[in-house]
Amino acid sequence: MDSYSTTTTSSSSSSSSKLLFRQLFEKESSTYTYLLADVNHPDKPALLIDPVDKTVDRDLNVIKELGLKLVYAMNTHVHADHVTGTGLIKSKVPGVKSIISKASGSKADLHVEHGDKVSFGDLFLEVRATPGHTLGCVTYVSGEGPDQPQPRMAFTGDALLIRGCGRTDFQGGSSSQLYKSVHSQIFTLPKDTLIYPAHDYKGFTVSTVGEEIQYNPRLTKDEETFKSIMENLNLSYPKMIDIAVPANLVCGMQDLASKA
């Protein structure tokens, strides 16, 4: 198991951590980007989950205004509907490291696997493999412990959406795998765990594990019914899929790399 830390010396556990949290939205792809930081740590280390190329300047400006030090730009999976902002962020903020799962097959500075921890100051996110929407999807769950935020927070990417879930018809998707991932890795979290997805198309911002166990119209069904629902979604492919997937496999840097 790897552990990625922002501190090279053992951190002072006497200074209690304090989470700063912001939910940011990109309207063309209806994507949520999440900003987290430990503002009680002297460095105020911060990370971004699922940044979008189009809103990188907005996100970096907020980070600057709040006096944070961005250390990680991470993705829950290889997105099909927008180009990730991680590559652009790395070109604008030296020292930032990109993170994605090893199973995604995508380039990044650090590759995470199930059980890894991503630390920022005295806080951390636990990596849970939640394949099914894509083969390499992970959910980042806020750490457990006296210094960690309560209730816990789960950044589910497209594995679990509020009252929905990610489609399973491309990028190595599998409805039976997604069903198992959500039931074994997300629905087993404490019921008050906050669910923060990568997208919302209906105006929702946050849910809880308990709410989704009770009201998710797809995942409350038995596995066979779920599979049938997923086979009959009849969604059109994301408009940007042919641009986004190749770009995101190289950290969103395709254009910049070809001009370098």
Ligand X SMILES: N[C@@H](CCC(=O)N[C@@H](CSS)C(=O)NCC(=O)O)C(=O)O
How far, in Å, CA of 33 to CA of 68, rounded? 16
Count of positions on this chain that bind ligand X (CB under 6 A): 14
177, 131 contact by CB (below 8 A):
yes
164 binds, among ligand X, Fe ion, none (CB under 5 to 8 A by kind): ligand X
- Minimum CB–partner distance for residue 238 and ligand X (Å): 3
166 binds ligand X (CB under 6 A): yes
Site for ligand X in 223-242 (CB under 6 A): 233, 235, 238-240
Candidates 150, 148, 95; CA nearest to 122 is: 148
Q: Between vectors from CA 137 to CA 29 and to CA 186, what angle results, nearest 5°?
A: 100
x/- mask, ligand X, residues 181-200, rule CB under 6 A, reads ------------------x-
H-run or E-run covering 180: helix 175-181
How far, in Å, CA of 166 to CA of 130, rounded? 11
164 binds ligand X (CB under 6 A): yes
How many CA atoms does the CB half-sphere of 72 hold within 13 Å? Answer: 31
* Sole binder of Fe ion in the list 26, 38, 59, 158 (CB under 5 A): 158
238 binds, among Fe ion, ligand X, none (CB under 5 to 8 A by kind): ligand X
132 binds ligand X (CB under 6 A): no
Give the footprint of ligand X on this chain (CB under 6 A): 29, 80-81, 158, 164, 166-167, 199, 201, 233, 235, 238-240
